[in-house]
Structure formats: structure tokens, C-alpha cells
Chain A
Amino acid sequence: MQYQMIFHCIKVNIRNNLRNFSTTPKEVLTKKRLVPLRPVSSKIDRSKLPARTKIDANTIEHLERLSLVDCANKQGIQTLEDAIAFADQILQVDTEGIEPLVTVLEDRPLQVRDDKVEEGNCIKEILSNAAVTEDKYFVAPPGNIPLEPRENLLHEEKDN
């Protein structure tokens, strides 16, 4: 479910952004305009894009296992494949000889603190976030339970 939501979000955002592109330029008066006045056609050379990634049943099962999110249905796979295809476009950016940027703060030293105890002893606050507690412990389901293999993998969601 979560997967789907995220992917939908991305889509929605893209549409929103496109709409913004076409409506806001009048308000921007700077000479160096980063946002074009009119929608421009994509510079992505579709012929150079890698073949559309196909998600097979094993992969989707693996993803479900990692995320514990129910996404192994046709709609979920479609959304995931769309997202991958969308992300594939970034491969056209020429990154030859450029170090990957991890953080925009990478040229600043990491701030460190002195070794002093100033936090903790707030068990009440900590435990108030937990659904189940006992004797000052958090209570969680037993250790790593292997996920039951699903029988109706790639099922159609009834709600859709």
C-alpha cells in the first residue's frame, strides 16, 4: 500500500510541477530565468533509454518481504515499472569525471559534540510511543518470523 502511495505521489507531483511551469513565469522577473516561459519538449532521447524494466514475481515477492508492504498486484507492478522507467531518464545526464554528491554540506566539517550525558532517563515519553509495553520494556512480535509465502501472488486488488 505504502509503495503505491509513494508512487502515486511522485506522479501527482510531476503533474503539479508541470502546471506550475505553465502558470508562474509571468510572476518571475529575473533575467536569468531558470523556468522556461512555455512548456518545452523533453530533451530525453527515448531511443537511448534502457529497455523498460520488467518486474517478475520473485522480485516483487522479495520487495514485499523487505518492505512488509502489500504491493504484489498488477497495479503495484505497473506503478513500480513506471517509476523505474521515469528514473531511467537520469542515466542520460553526463556524469563523466564527477564525484557523486551525497550532501550539499559535503565541504563543511561534521559538527561533533563533547562526551556528556544530557539525555535519556525519559522512559515515560519513550514508552508512550509504543503500542504495547510491559514492565518498562517495549513488546514486539517474536524475532524474525519468515513471511508466509503468499498463495495469491499478483492478485488483483478488489478495491481497484
Chain B
Amino acid sequence: MFLNRKLYDIFLVRTSSTKAYKSKWKSVVGLEVHAQIQSQSKLFSAAGTRFASGVNQNVSLFDAATPGTLPVLNKRCVEAGVLTALALNCRVNAVSMFDRKHYFYSDLPAGYQITQQRSPLANDGLLEFHVYTPGVHKTPYVKKSKIKQIQLEQDSGKSLHDDDRSLVDLNRAGIPLMEIVFEPDLGDGEEAAALIKELVVILQRLNTCSCKMEEGALRVDANVSIHKPNDSLGVRTEIKNIGSVRAVAGAITYEIKRQIAVLERGGTITNETRSWNSISKVTVPMRDKEEKQDYRYMPEPNLPPLYLAIGPSNWGCLNVDNLKASIPELPNETRNRLKNDYNLTPEQAVILVNESKLLDIFNETVLRMKLNAKLMANILINDFLSLIHKEKKVLEDITIPVEFLAETVMLLQKSAINRKTAQLLLKEMLSLPKDTPSEIVRSRGWYQITNEEELRTICKTVIKENPKILNQYLNGKLIVFDAFLGKIVAKSEGKADMSQVPSILKEVLKELKK
């Protein structure tokens, strides 16, 4: 019976059409993000944080909750938290406090986590971002999500579950986290994924989090509910620990459809915690605590309040205004710069900012080598990026020197080669980035034929070789003109300058008509 019900669920979800529900149901999504602060040592102990260290090597006596040890706050973590808060337009609090949140679990040896519940590091932020998934959205649109609070807290250890016991590794215990709590301001999974993408770019710019989701450095929890327009919010479910940007979109989209299917057949949504199975692409309920957890929050007695200096003052462990001055260009500013200074389209600006490696190449070459910015952006996005996707490679692994890419665009810009050849060049360099583009072009004879006389000769040859098409053309079937163009591209092995060919071909044909 249970199994049948489950299959029925899935069946409904798969068959319910996307369009039918859109008008009837409104979905509400709120995110909570745990971002690991990039630091050498832990939040309250001087043990290291290196990923993939030996089991229980990054553990100090404090991390193992040895009696008599005390927490000492890491200054770097406060800085990172404040920088992030400022970049997310939060109000940084001059005084914040630490609290104990109790729960009983073997990878949390103290029996409580030190977090900030009563007065967190920062409140009331706002993140503005562009939602644009090529293939889903035609054009980018701007979305805003408010931030309720940012707090510093410890991560817990890791348990490997055997049949009848758990193996506990405390390397993660005490790793510094920033929890960023967003208000439920989002409407669907794509918006949530776009928010996370923007957050990743910001945190990476600030150097406050590596955002390596595969290492667990950034974890996303999503609260999802649906309701009818004008009704109050529905019962929400929470999807825990989503581990990639695409999974954020996938899990939330699935969960919205699942809730709609449940309500449409007269069921009810229970307030529960679910997890996303990225292989079978479904959310499933997690084995739940049978009653609401009582965390027994209490002030952390071993840590006095955290004071931050705001304005011209040295009171407190660091000065917020000094940090503010050190914030680098943020993605929104970059997008505006790309649009205003280089006349790029919003789509190009969004893609370049999301693909930081492409942006680096762009920034490094355009001004220095006096490249046509629009052309460079076009080549990087439409040719280079799509080629990499097609070859199933990852941008981060590409070893082509930026000079090579710039030179390719330069050749194109000078009309020494055409677009087709540029694509061949990129492909060539992708497999073996050894020769410079100019060398490849020279050794292969790939220079574009731009000489008018040469082009005229090719046109004449092609016409002579294709009397049938010529006849059709002369009999008024003008559409075969394009067939000639195709033949010319083939004849010249893609080297003919196709910006000149049509007018030359027209002239040649005109003469023949007479």
C-alpha cells in the first residue's frame, strides 16, 4: 500500500503539466546557507582546517571537548563574517553574543554547538541578483532577497555509520561557519539557484569562502511551501544539505511539484525535513525526530560579548569601517561596468560574471591588447565556452594561455581569419596548446582570403563547376544564390572572407546575365 502510494506520487509529479499549476498555486522558497569560512585554523581552537587531512588530525583538546579547555575566538573568522555581511548590505552589530545550542549527537562531543542565537553578527541585509538560465529564461531579470541574519557558528564532526555503531572523525568539529539566513522571498528553484550562484561569486571575490560545494564548504537548506494566491502561506517542508547549484534548482522544482500533487489529490503537507537524492531526482523524508527538538539555548558563559568598532574608534576587536574600505568590486558592479564601459549585453555580462575564469581572461586582455570587447565576449561565450561544454571539459582545467585566446580574437579582428577558422583554432588549442594561433594559421595556410581578385576567381570557378545551379539562377530562381555561397565556403576550405563574397558574387552573376 505504502509503495503504491509512493508510485502514485511520482506518477502524478511526472505527469502534472507545468503550465496548469502555475496559475493556481504560488510557491514560496527561503534559503539558509552554511558557508565555511576560509581560514587556517578553527573558529575557537588553533587546530588546522585543511580538507582531506588524516582522520582526527585536525583536532585540538578543545575540539574533543576535553574538560578544562576554553574557546578562543579566531579574529580572521570575525573579519570574514563582517566582510560578508557588508557585501550583503547587512547592518553589522556593534555587540553580538554567542550561545550554546544543545543537541545530543556523537559527532558533537561537547553536547552543544556554539552559535549566535540572541544577537547575531549582522542583520537585515539585501542581495540583488540576476536570474538567467539559458534555455529556461529568455532574458535576465533582477530579483531581490532580504537577509534576516548572519551568524558565526561551529560545524560538527563527521560520523560514518556502520550497522551497529558510528565511526567519528572530529576534523570538521569546530570548523568556522557563517550561517546566512534569507527571508522566504523567492518563487522557484531557478531563482534559488541564481541566488546561490551570485552568493558564490560574492564569497569567492571576498575570499571568505571557497564555495567548493563538493567539499561541503557551502551547504544549502531550502524551505518550500505552496499556497493559493490571496491565501496565507502553506505548511513548509525543509530540504536539508543540498550539495550543488543545479541540485538546488532540481530539488526545489521537484518539491514544489510534489506538494502540488499532494494537495491536488486532497492530501496534506506535513512539516518535515526531507533530503534530495541527486541520482533518482526526488526528495524523500528523512528519518525524523519524533518530537520537536528542544535546543535549550543558553548564553555561552565562556565568551564575553563580541565588540566591533564602527566609526573612528579602536574599541572592539576590529574596525568595521576599515574593512568596508577593503571590499573588492562586487559582481553587480562588474556587470554594470561590463554593460556601461564595454557595451556588452545583459546576458553577456551575467554569463561572464558567473564564469569567473572567462571574466579573468576578459579583464586581462581587452584593455591591454586593445581588443574589440564585444567580439572578445562573443568568442569567449559563444565559441570558447560552448566548445568546452561540447568537449565535456571543465573551464578550470583549461591550460590555453590567455595570450593565445587574445591573439585568436586579434586575428579575427584584423580579418586575417574568419569566425569558422577561429573556432577551428580554439579546438586545435584545446587539444594541444603548444603553437600560437598565428603559427597554426601560418603552418596550415588558414589565412582568410581577403584579396578581391582572388575571391572573384573563386566565385568564377565555382560558377563554372556548377552549370545547373547557374541555369536555375539565370531562370529567375534567385534563392540558389545561397547554394553558391555554400559552395564557395567549401571550395575555399572555409577561408574566403564571407563578408566580401556576396557582393563580389552578385557582380560576377550580373555580368553573366548580360
A residues bordering B, Cβ < 8 Å?
Answer: 62, 66, 68, 102-103, 105-106, 108-123, 125-127, 129, 134-144, 146
Least CB separation from A132: chain B residue: B165
Please report which residues of chain B, range 101-146, place their CB below 8 angstroms from some CB of chain A when the two chains form the complex. Answer: 104-107
Chain B residues with CB under 8 Å of chain A are: 39-41, 45-48, 54-64, 66, 72-78, 97, 104-107, 159-170, 289-291, 294, 296, 299, 301, 303-307, 315-318
Which chain B residue lies CB-closest to A68?
B104
Residues on the A chain within 8 Å of B317, using CB: 109-112
C-alpha gap A143/B315 in the complex (Å):
45
Contact, CB under 8 Å: B159 / A114 = no
Nearest Cβ in chain A — how far from B295, in angstroms?
10
* A119 contacts B168, C-beta separation under 8 Å: no
B304 touches A141 (CB 8 A): no
Q: In the complex, what residue of chain B is closest to A127 when comparing beta carbons?
A: B56
Q: Which residues on the B side are within 8 Å of A136 (C-beta)?
A: 54-56
Q: Cβ of B59 and Cβ of A120 under 8 Å apart? A: yes
Docked CA distance A16–B99 (Å): 33
Once the chains are docked, how many angstroms separate the CA of A144 from the CA of B159? 12
- Report B-chain residues with C-beta under 8 Å of the C-beta of A122: 59-61
Which of chain A's residues have a CB closer than 8 A to the CB of B163? 142
Cβ-neighbour of B39 out of A109, A111, A115, A118 (below 8 A):
A115
Indicate if the CB atoms of B60 and A112 lie closer than 8 Å: no
Set of chain B residues within 8 Å of A114, measured between Cβ atoms:
75-76
Complex formed: what's the CA distance from A119 to B315 in Å? 29
Neighbouring A residues of B161 by C-beta, 8 Å: 142-143
Tell me the minimal C-beta distance from A140 to chain B in angstroms. Answer: 3
Q: Are A139 and B74 in contact (CB under 8 A)?
A: no
Which chain A residue has the least Cβ–Cβ distance from B157? A138
**What residues of B have a CB within 8 angstroms of the CB of A66 in the complex?**
104, 294, 296
The smallest beta-carbon distance between A105 and chain B, in angstroms, is 4
Instruction: Give every chain B residue within 8 A of A138 (Cβ-Cβ).
Output: 56, 106, 167-170
Given A115-B41, A139-B167; 12 other pairs, CB 8 A cutoff: A62-B294, A103-B299, A106-B305, A110-B307, A112-B74, A114-B75, A120-B60, A137-B56, A138-B168, A142-B166, A144-B289, A146-B290
Measured between alpha carbons, how far is A134 from B56 in the docked complex, in Å?
Answer: 12
CB contacts (< 8 Å) of B307 on chain A: these are: 109-110
23 contacting pairs across A/B (C-beta < 8 A): A102-B305, A108-B304, A109-B306, A110-B317, A111-B317, A112-B74, A113-B75, A114-B76, A115-B75, A117-B47, A119-B45, A119-B46, A119-B61, A120-B59, A123-B55, A126-B170, A129-B64, A138-B170, A139-B165, A140-B107, A141-B166, A142-B161, A142-B163
A39 CA to B291 CA, complexed, in Å: 48
Q: Measured between C-beta atoms, what is the minimum distance from B314 to chain A in Å? A: 10
Measured CB to CB, the closest approach of chain B to A109, in angstroms, equals 4
B329 to chain A, nearest CB (A): 25
| Nearest CB on B from A71, distance (A) | 16
B304 touches A106 (CB 8 A): yes
* Chain A residue contacts of B72, Cβ below 8 A: 111-113
Decide if A139 touches B58 in the complex (CB within 8 Å).
no
Contact with A126, one of B48, B61, B76 (Cβ below 8 angstroms) = B61
Lowest 3 CB-CB distances: which A-B pairs, in order? A140-B106, A120-B47, A115-B76
Identify which of A68, A116, A137 contacts B40 (C-beta below 8 A): A116
How far is B60's CA from A129's CA once the two chains are assembled, in angstroms? 13
Inside 8 A of B59's CB, which chain A residues have their CB? 120, 122-123, 126
On whether the beta carbons of B60 and A119 are closer than 8 Å, the reply is yes
List B contacts of A102 (CB < 8 A): 97, 299, 301, 305
B470 to chain A, nearest CB (A): 77
Are A142 and B66 in contact, CB atoms less than 8 angstroms apart?
no
Is A117 a contact partner of B41 (Cβ separation < 8 A)? yes
Which of A113, A116, A138, A142 gathers most chain B CB within 10 Å? A138
What is the bound-complex CA distance between A156 and B54, given in angstroms?
50
Q: Which of A103, A111, A121, A140 contacts B159 (CB 8 A)?
A: A140
Q: Which residues of A contact B76 (CB under 8 A)?
A: 114-115
> Are A113 and B162 in contact, with the CB atoms below 8 A?
no
Contact (A118, B41) CB under 8 Å given A102-B299, A144-B105: yes
* Cβ contact within 8 Å between A109 and B75: no
Taking the nearest CB of chain B, how far is it from the CB of A55, in angstroms? 16
Report the Cα distance A111→B305, complex, angstroms: 10
When the two chains form their complex, are residues A113 and B46 in contact, meaning their CB atoms are under 8 A apart?
yes
Q: Which residue of A lies closest to B96 (CB)?
A: A110
The reply to whether B64 and A142 contact each other, CB–CB distance below 8 Å, is no
A117 proximity list for chain B (CB < 8 A) = 40-41, 46-48
Q: Are A123 and B304 in contact (CB under 8 A)?
A: no
Q: How far is the CB of A102 from chain B (nearest CB, A)?
A: 4
Which residues of chain A are near B306, meaning CB under 8 Å? 109-110
Report how far A106 CA is from B98 CA in the complex, Å: 12
**B316 touches which of A109, A120, A135 (Cβ 8 Å):** A109
* Shortest Cβ distance from B80 into A: residue: A115
Residues of B within 8 A of A111 (CB): 72-73, 317
Residues in chain A near residue B66, CB distance under 8 A: 126, 129
Inter-chain contact B165/A142, CB cutoff 8 Å: yes
A107 to B74, alpha carbons, bound, how many Å? 20
Closest to B39 in A: A115
Q: How far is the CA of A108 from the CA of B307 in the complex (A)?
A: 8
Residues of B within 8 A of A123 (CB): 54-57, 59
Q: Which residues of B contact A140 (CB under 8 A)?
A: 106-107, 159, 165-168
Q: Is the beta-carbon distance between B74 and A126 smaller than 8 angstroms? A: no
Task: Point out the residues of chain A lying under 8 angstroms from B61, CB to CB.
Answer: 119, 122, 125-126
